[in-house]
Amino acid sequence: MISILSTTPISPVHPVTNVVPLSLVLLVSLIKEAFEDWKRFQNDMSINNAHVDILQGQRWESTPWKRLQVGDIVRIKQDGYFPADLLFLSSTNPDGVCYIETANLDGETNLKIRKALERTWDFVTPEKASGFKGEVQCEQPNNSLYTFTGNLIVDKQTIPLSPNQLLLRGCSLRNTEYIVGAVIFTGHETKVMMNSMNVPSKRSTLEKKLDKLILALFATLFSMCVIGAIGSGVFINEKYFYLGLRGKVEDQFNPKNRFVVTILTMFTLLTLYSTIIPISLYVSIEMIKFIQCTQFINNDLHMYHAESDTPALARTSNLNEELGQIEYIFSDKTGTLTRNLMEFFKCSIGGEMYGTGITEIEKGGAERAGIKIDDDEGKRSASAVHEKGFNFDDARIMCGAWRNEPNPEACKEFFRCLAICHTVLPEGEETPEKITYQAASPDEAALVAAAKNFGFFFYRRTPTTVMVRESHVERMGSIQDVPYEILNVLEFNSTRKRQSVVCRFPNGRMVLYCKGADNVVYERLADGNHVMKKTSREHLEQFGSAGLRTLCLAYRDLSREQYEIWNEKFVQAKSSLRDRDKKLDEVAELIEKDLILIGCTAIEDKLQEGVPTCIETLSAAGIKIWVLTGDKMETAINIAYACSLVNNDTKQFIISSETDAIREAEDRGDPVEIARVIKDSVKQSLKSFHEEARHSLISTPERKMALIIDGRCLMYALDPTLRVDLLGLSLICHSVVCCRVSPLQKAQVTSLVKKGARKITLSIGDGANDVSMIQAAHVGIGISGQEGMQAVMASDFAIAQFRFLTDLLLVHGRWSYLRLCKVITYFFYKNLTFTLTQFWFTFQTGFSGQRFYDDWNQSLYNVIFTALPVIIVGLFDKDVSASLSKRYPQLYKEGIRNSFFKWRVIAVWGFFAFYQSIVFFYFTASASRHGQGSSGKILGLWDVSTMAFSCVVVTVNLRLLMACNSITRWHYISVAGSIVAWFVFIFIYSAIMTSFDRQENVYFVIYVLMSTFFFYLTLLLVPIIALFGDFLYLSIQRWLFPYDYQIIQEQHRDEPHEYSRVQLPETSHLSPEEARSYMISMLPRESSKHTGFAFDSPGYESFFASQQGVGVPHKAWDVARRASMKQQRAGKS
């Protein structure tokens, strides 16, 4: 609007004044957007023009993907990608199976098996495929990758379709010569494209506050315009005869219509003062953030994981500074805090516990209790086995010894359940040594590996059969290959928390094997056998206390009649188009009952390297960490101990559904009563714990508190009536552990703190079940781990290990926050300073709207003369080094408190902008009132304005240097270059004149000015006077009221550069990654030095005492004492 106003007669400035900077800003944005659009266009063209074989008549013809239509029959060759969502018809493999890789969807590289309908197996050749006629009835296009409901009608026969017959776009074909499929969904209706449309847009808190600052600037602009407009209406008068206001004059200067004069002057001043709005700020910030991500975060060797060759990845540049203000971290456990490399460690079979190892959690617990445990690696028995997925030592059940146990039949069922009840795909040679297992999760692979080592070797799978090589079953040393027919698979999901398989033995015996979470399986056990149930539950608790992941195994024998009746219902549910999943779950409930408990497994998932240290560092930085896990409470608590989230001194508030009152209600079986009892229990616990926590906070403020709650209680605690109590208690606690929580509950807890407490949150996870939590937080971090890449694809930043959070937050996040705060406040300062000089000039011109500066000077002020230095500061400014940032994590608290972008900080910059603008205008105007050039002529308007503009450019660039914490050669080059650019420009601009603009105003001005001593004196004194107030303020602030980082600067200012102090300890002790990092650190690099004023700050004691947990107030009067002590030390030396 302002650019449009500048083209009208009421504008005091040439249109170029507003159009040029706006055009340059838009041009930069357009170039960036055009480049990204061009890359996307090229990518789209390469994909759309890829070729696929389509059936035309009775032959295959190569056709671009973009010409695919629903109903086309296509052929996909090995290693080819599916161009659309396809109905799998036939394959060159026997039994109509194919293998696919879904890495482009979820990042999982393990192969998945898909099976065509038996009715369509024959449509492999084009001759037979051309005769295929059928109708597909299916769901509407949706974004659910793992569900599909539909029916295929062929020759009036309705055949149900499931996800096993769906080949999704983006997946690739493996280990199969080719497959034939029918196109169901194309283009934007494919499931992968539907998923790519719902990415939430996130803006940082700093940007939102910046919007308020811009609004404040608009309010200031409006106020200045109103003052000027009213002043113009008051000032205009015919008595000023020398202004020629009598007779016919323009409406804007007509004394007879003061209202019109006021309104028109308002618009005039709007264009004149428009420079107060920093239109280039957003582009500068975007540029700084982009470079910070691509050059600093992505290339940081401290966040590079050599083992997996994975660097850090910033997937968005919008949230860099948000990383420097995180107050709450919500973390998944498995794969995030732990390695997600599962190893079968212990088990319980028929009430007997097996496995002699000691977990890391048990060792940590013993150390906390003061008990020393020796490493047991050298004490392992000869039968112990340690391979991928299996780390077990107990000679009683290894190598067939289980036959001599009291319960050999239970052992046999246990091992068969491990070998049969899964969806694992074997690959490679069919020998125990060379076979590899492709599993949907590391747990499944570990269980199948355990079965192999126990003598039940699963080596082959077909769509209907599982082949197991069983050892020592009939007699010791016997080996036999046994085919088990798989009749039905009831798949695992986050709601069922169990998986079942119905299989038929070669002798006709039909068995349902089930494995799942202990609480789910125990609910479905048959009556009786209470001793074994009780013993197994005790074993489960022991496993949980040791930090192990547990599953219960059970089975049920089925009669032929039972199975056939149930299978009819199963087929009907599978054929349903509406609520198929719900109906399948209901049918599964009919058969998953009256189970007989076999035993339970215990799998160890070790902590990632550096997790406890990382959590301690983040806690010292003022960040509160919550763990949200699906594991049982005992496991979660012990992981919390191992991670240093809680310790023996921590006051724990435990809200569990495993209480006597709740168990009694469950025994009575009334769902309504159970819900009421749990809700009342949760309500009472929240209120009593809240009061206790508040009292503890007053009486023993140094004692840490932790809340531990399970998912069942959390469901009621998240009720709107109890949510406030939950939030209040949670915010008091230093850490929170939520157990047995669903993915939805993870997102709800994150949103509770984000919206309810208005705190800045970060969620970190590695699996698909963490996606909703990652998207709900202000910042989402994905761990590129063992569970695929879905968490990474939904995240804002991706790292390989949890410990890298230290560098991401305390170094990059903190630096980004400090730099952007400085950039924004400096933009505010320099634009306000420049515009206020014009405002003061308005008072000298009768509020007429006469401009003070030349149009081109005003146009290039933001885009040339002051643009580069602030970008350099936004990229390279460092208050302390990376090592000191991690050594003193308390520095991070300044970001949590938002210390550098408060209204008070902005007001200080605004005050000095006001002061300096007065100096620039009145000093130059008053001092040059009697000045004259070498020709004897007095200095005119353009002489004074050019002089003032020179002072402004020099001062604001030097002020930026004063604001820097570290100065490199790039700072000097940018600041000196900007000042030189102004003088080069004015020399050229003043030397030429054309008839097409107002350039005659400044023609030869700079040459006249530089011929006078007055100009040089003004250029020296005015910046000194203008910056003296800033110098004084910064001195007092640093001396008496220092920021934490300034204290650290003073403490380490006499130390050499951190890299020059690095000593190579012993190269033999360095890993290749450490040696590489060391060699890179020793390379020559840009040195930097702290600026500011190196006073001995009296704030030292308070800062370092606070690190020890002792509160010491600032003592300004200690300055003299410290100075005298320093002199005494100097005298003694």
CA distance 240 to 732: 70
Count of C-beta atoms within a 10 Å radius of residue 605:
28
Residue 106 designated active-site: no
- Which residues are within 8 A (CB) of 841 and not within 5 positions of it... i.e. 6 or more apart? 850, 852, 921, 925
**Tokens matching residue 189:** 């209706």
Let me know: does 512 contact 558? Beta carbons within 8 Å: yes
CA distance 403 to 901: 72
CA distance 529 to 517: 19
Long-range contacts of residues 776-779, Cβ cutoff 8 Å, at least 24 apart: 776/747, 776/750, 776/751, 777/330, 777/750, 778/202, 778/204, 778/205, 778/319, 778/322, 778/326, 778/754, 779/202, 779/319, 779/322, 779/323, 779/326
* Alpha carbons within 13 A on the beta-carbon side of 717: 29
**Tokens matching residue 929:** 């009132």
Count of C-beta atoms within a 10 Å radius of residue 776:
22
- Which residues are within 8 A (CB) of 735 and not within 5 positions of it... i.e. 6 or more apart? 619, 624, 625, 626, 627, 640, 645, 646, 650, 704, 706, 707
Q: 331, 892, 321: which is closest to 623 by C-alpha? A: 892
Amino acid at 192: V
CA 157 to chain centre: 50
CA distance 898 to 818: 10
CA 460 to chain centre: 41
Amino acid at 671: P
8-state DSSP, 935 = T
Q: 210, 329, 326: which is closest to 814 by C-alpha? A: 326
Query: Residue 132 to residues 128, 158, 343: CA-CA distances in angstroms?
Result: 7, 15, 48
- Which residues are within 8 A (CB) of 115 and not within 5 positions of it... i.e. 6 or more apart? 88, 95, 96, 97, 164, 165, 463
Let me know: does 51 contact 63? Beta carbons within 8 Å: yes
Let me know: does 465 contact 485? Beta carbons within 8 Å: yes
**Tokens matching residue 73:** 């029959």
The tokens 């006001």 sit on which residue?
914
Measured in degrees and rounded to the nearest 5, phi and psi for residue 125 equal: -85, 155
Let me know: does 113 contact 163? Beta carbons within 8 Å: no
The tokens 């009061």 sit on which residue?
691
Let me know: does 796 contact 779? Beta carbons within 8 Å: yes
**Tokens matching residue 328:** 């709450």
**Tokens matching residue 897:** 């408190």
Count of C-beta atoms within a 10 Å radius of residue 229:
22
Q: 562, 560, 587, 558: which is closest to 572 by C-alpha? A: 587
Query: Residue 834 to residues 676, 957, 1008, 1013: CA-CA distances in angstroms?
Result: 67, 13, 24, 25
CA distance 704 to 696: 9
Let me know: does 84 contact 68? Beta carbons within 8 Å: yes
Q: Active site residue: 300, 332, 394, 854, which one?
A: 332
Q: Which residues are catalytic?
A: 332
